[in-house]
Amino acid sequence: MTSITFRYIAAILLLISTSAVVNALQYTAKHDDETGFAILRQIPSQIGEWQGRDYPLEEKVYDILETRSIIHRSFNSDSGQNAFLSIVHYHDTKVDFHRPESCLGGRGVELEKTTKAVTLQSNSEPITFDIARIISTSSNGKTLVYYFFKANRFIGSSYLMMRLNIAANKMTGNDTRGSLIRISTNYTPGRETEAETVLLGFLQDLFPHIENLL
């Protein structure tokens, strides 16, 4: 009888634990655009030597992404370099992230994806994390894209780890924030190293705002 009672209690505890995890991983269309957009407004248009200009998105893009907390901004440096910044932020992350690959692909477009470890200066200390690195090739030329996710203290390119961190954050601290950060620059064939330098330089200037706000 004791064995049966123990198994019964263990089964109940397992069901409760499973229910908690499912609830943490369940995503609906509920989100807080007002709070999320207020956070993104704190990311300035002038970042170091980079001056940004916002570009509007079609209404259907907001519908697909299920949030209006989006930055879609082109930056130009004093030396004539260009970097494009896209941030999609969910203050209450209960929807699926749309990975950049789905937007970059298309007829006649070739994608080459790898991961890359980057080291940036963070509050006077270096921080290293993985980013996704994509080279998009089309008839219009080449584009180098970096992207990564941020969920509280998690920063990296792994979609699965980002989801697990959001679930853990929700269960331990009721923190459901999550962001996708993407930067890109166009370049001509043979100038890939220069494109890498542009994005790494811009990312270093941008990173304190990402780390402190998102």
Locate 93 and state its tokens. Answer: 């992350």
Residue 39 tokens read as 């956070």
The whole domain housing 42 covers 30-213
**pTM, full prediction:** 0.83
Give the pLDDT of residue 30.
Answer: 42
Instruction: Indicate whether 154 pLDDT > 90.
Output: yes
Domain annotation covers residue 12: no
Q: How confident is the model at residue 32 (pLDDT cuts 50, 70, 90)?
A: low
Q: Is residue 13 part of a domain?
A: no
Neighbours of 84 (CB within 10 A): 19
CA distance 149 to 144: 17
Interatomic CA distance for residues 163 and 156, integer angstroms:
11
Tell whether 9 is covered by a domain: no
The pLDDT score that the predictor gives to residue 13 is 42
Q: Is residue 160 in some structural domain?
A: yes
Report how many domains make up the chain.
Answer: 1
Taking the CA of residue 139 as centre, how many other CA atoms within 13 Å lie in the half-sphere pointing to its CB?
Answer: 3
Provide the CATH number for the domain around residue 108.
3.40.1000
Angle (deg, nearest 10), helices 159-173 and 2-25: 110
Is residue 156 assigned to a domain? yes
